[in-house]
């Protein structure tokens, strides 16, 4: 290859415009969700979808059973009142090949209580969604469901507080086909993860250079995607080769950073395992999530912690947070400060309800550049778990978000796939404006792991609010936690093939082409860092330039001009 500066002075005009979206013939998905308690309910999404009389303008027409009564607000709005201890229902027919998105606005007669929407089906009750309802204002339930069998169903609303009346309005149930759902993903992916680019090759006089070959190589994708590791990778070349060849950009340590690993005996800290894994991550350009400072489940504490008095425990927790956060400050993208503190309250029960808030404040003071995550399971995975509904998660995150940069960590340990509920949960959490990560993604052995993993990964990647995904599949010879990506010879399992296929789909490694008659070349590229090379075969020369493809800061169409000058020798 000749001198890259030889003969011509190239100017590469890089023009980037936001991809305008692909045309779809199906009904668009409504990503909006309200997390405010409003004086009056908003209009039903999709005009109510397949539900007739969604705003009760025709009384209780379409509802059966006892306990329903029609009331009217001062503003003239009509709604249904579900009297305490009664359960009016809406009869429906649901199809097993559809994905349903659901929404409703609810209010209660007194106090505050969790209110849920439930569909009674032949396979049992399906919980579509829930919210924390208040007296005096309206809250939105947003959720979704799929059914395993086509057949009749009945919709009803319930609360564990049987003493309150539930007010209901603006109900919507909208079905989507699998093809429509996938079109939403594709459209959102194009808008959130990619940009349309237009290259213009010209010489030093501004004249276009038609018919020039070029290559566009992705050096590093912008979307953080990775997998957990453990100390097994340190001495296993097969594991290392498999992991580092996947183009992962982020990792998390399975156990090596947890308190029970770094201080097995009181006062005897041992960071050798985590230090070695941090060194491995640095060597291979991997960002690291800090998992975790504390775990609020009493089962997962160092053995000596259970014997401490409250004062001794407080001193021990202060030493722990000072030690681990200070040691790795600046080396992690975020910390799971008090893991799973919606499900559990080990530290709060011993040290008071303000423990989590204090821990987040202290962690932020020690590592101000890292995002401090609330990290929980079942917010995406299981609509039945009332402890961690999106509204409960938001309530908890609002308690700690004033303590510094705060993030939403969603573990994602799936035993079944409910994409309608998963998407709606992210919609609600996105309304906080906080960064959202899927932090520990895996799938139970009881279902088709590869198929489910692909469905979940596509849903997560396509949602504009998700800012990173980490798979929980650190390899161990005795077997992974729930899901492995390889066998013990590091040959891909079906799940590993899914990961490889999506990495290649989301971050096409190399693109080659030729400028047109006017010197232009167009493509749609994922956000990331690229090297663009223009070739002049006649002169046996080339010119390479690093460039970045990123989302428009304003989220609108824009043109970015980038001129690169190549001089003659």
State residue 99's pLDDT score.
Answer: 98
Q: Are 122 and 72 in contact (CB under 8 A)?
A: no
Burial 139-176 (b: 16+ CB within 10 A, else e): bbbbbbbbbeeeeebbbbbbbebeebbbbbbbbbbbbb
DSSP-based three-state secondary structure for 9:
coil
Nearest 10 degrees: Cα torsion 224, 185, 193, 45: -100
The residues assigned a catalytic role are 440
Closest-CA residue to 213 (of 539, 568, 549, 536): 536
State residue 88's pLDDT score.
Answer: 83
Q: Are 378 and 388 in contact (CB under 8 A)?
A: yes
**Rg for the chain, CA atoms, rounded:** 27
User: SS3 letters for 403-419?
Assistant: HCCEEEEECCEECCCCH
What is the per-residue DSSP string for 52-99? SSTT-TTTTTTEESSSEEEEE-TTS-EEEEE-TT---EEEEEE-TTEE
How far apart (Å, rounded) are the C-alpha atoms in residues 439 and 428? 18
Instruction: Say whether pTM exceeds 0.85.
Output: yes
Give the largest CA-CA distance in the chain.
Answer: 89
Q: What is the DSSP letter of 334?
A: E
Tell me whether residue 96 is exposed, middle or buried, using C-beta atoms within 10 angstroms of its C-beta: 0 to 12, 13 to 18, 19 or more.
exposed
State residue 21's pLDDT score.
Answer: 38
Per-residue pLDDT tens over the stretch 233-258: 999 999 999 999 999 999 999 999 99
State residue 67's pLDDT score.
Answer: 67
Per-residue pLDDT tens over the stretch 34-70: 999 999 999 999 999 999 999 999 988 888 876 677 7
State residue 410's pLDDT score.
Answer: 99
How far apart (Å, rounded) are the C-alpha atoms in residues 108 and 415? 33
State residue 201's pLDDT score.
Answer: 83
Q: How many CB atoms lie within 10 A of CB 440?
A: 24
Q: Are 213 and 512 in contact (CB under 8 A)?
A: yes
Residues of the chain under the 50 pLDDT cut: 1-24, 557-569
Domains of the chain with CATH codes = 11-22+187-218+509-562 (2.60.40), 45-177 (2.60.120.260), 223-491 (3.20.20.80)
State residue 51's pLDDT score.
Answer: 96
State residue 147's pLDDT score.
Answer: 95
In 431-483, alpha helices (H): 449-462
Which run of H or E residues covers position 544? Answer: strand 541-549
State residue 15's pLDDT score.
Answer: 33
State residue 66's pLDDT score.
Answer: 62
């Amino acid at each position: 290859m000749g001198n890259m500066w030889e003969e011509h002075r190239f100017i590469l005009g890089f023009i980037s415009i936001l991809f305008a979206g692909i045309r779809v013939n199906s009904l668009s998905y409504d990503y909006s969700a309200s997390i405010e308690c409003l004086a009056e309910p908003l209009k039903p999404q999709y005009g109510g979808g397949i539900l007739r009389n969604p705003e009760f303008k025709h009384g209780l027409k379409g509802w059966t059973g006892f306990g329903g009564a029609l009331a009217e607000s001062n503003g003239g709005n009509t709604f249904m009142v579900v009297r305490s201890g009664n359960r009016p229902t809406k009869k429906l027919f649901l199809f097993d090949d559809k994905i349903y998105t659901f929404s409703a606005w609810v209010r209660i007669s007194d106090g505050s209580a969790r209110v849920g929407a439930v569909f009674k089906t032949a396979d049992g009750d399906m919980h579509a969604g829930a919210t924390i309802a208040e007296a005096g204002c309206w809250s939105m339930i947003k959720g979704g469901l799929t059914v395993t069998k086509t057949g009749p169903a009945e919709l009803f609303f319930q609360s564990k507080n049987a003493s309150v009346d539930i007010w209901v309005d603006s109900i919507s149930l909208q079905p989507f086909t699998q093809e429509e759902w996938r079109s939403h993903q594709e459209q959102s992916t194009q808008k959130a993860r990619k940009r349309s680019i237009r290259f213009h090759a010209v010489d030093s006089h501004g004249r276009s250079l038609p018919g020039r070959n070029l290559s566009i190589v992705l050096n590093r994708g912008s979307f953080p995607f990775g997998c957990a590791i453990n100390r097994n990778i340190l001495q296993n070349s097969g594991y290392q080769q498999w992991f580092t060849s996947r183009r992962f950009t982020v990792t998390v340590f399975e156990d090596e950073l947890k308190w029970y690993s770094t201080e097995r005996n009181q006062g005897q800290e041992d960071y050798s395992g985590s230090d070695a894994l941090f060194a491995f991550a640095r060597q291979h350009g991997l960002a690291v999530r800090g998992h975790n400072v504390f775990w609020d489940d009493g089962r997962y504490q160092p053995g000596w912690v259970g014997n401490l008095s409250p004062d001794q425990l407080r001193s021990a927790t202060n030493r722990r947070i000072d030690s681990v956060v200070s040691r790795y400050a600046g080396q992690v993208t975020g910390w799971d400060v008090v893991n799973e503190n919606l499900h559990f309250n080990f530290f709060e029960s011993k040290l008071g309800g303000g423990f989590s808030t204090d821990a987040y404040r202290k962690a932020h003071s020690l590592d101000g550049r890292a995002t401090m995550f609330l990290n929980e399971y079942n917010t995406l995975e299981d609509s039945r778990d009332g402890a961690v509904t999106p509204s409960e998660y938001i309530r908890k995150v609002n308690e700690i978000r004033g303590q510094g940069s705060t993030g939403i960590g969603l573990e994602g340990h799936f035993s079944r796939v409910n994409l309608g509920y998963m998407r709606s949960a992210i919609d609600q959490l996105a309304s906080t404006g906080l960064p959202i990560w899927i932090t520990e993604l895996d799938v139970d052995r009881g279902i088709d792991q590869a198929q489910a993993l692909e469905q979940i990964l596509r849903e997560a990647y396509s949602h504009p609010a998700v800012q990173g995904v980490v798979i929980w599949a650190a390899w161990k010879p005795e077997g992974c936690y729930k899901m492995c990506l390889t066998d013990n010879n590091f040959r891909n399992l079906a799940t590993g093939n899914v990961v490889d296929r999506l990495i290649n789909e989301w971050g096409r490694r190399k693109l080659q082409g030729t400028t047109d008659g006017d010197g232009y070349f167009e493509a749609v590229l994922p956000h990331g860092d690229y090297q663009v090379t223009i070739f002049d075969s006649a002169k046996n020369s080339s010119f390479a330039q690093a460039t970045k493809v990123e989302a428009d800061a304003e989220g609108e169409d824009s043109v970015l001009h980038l001129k690169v000058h190549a001089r003659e020798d």
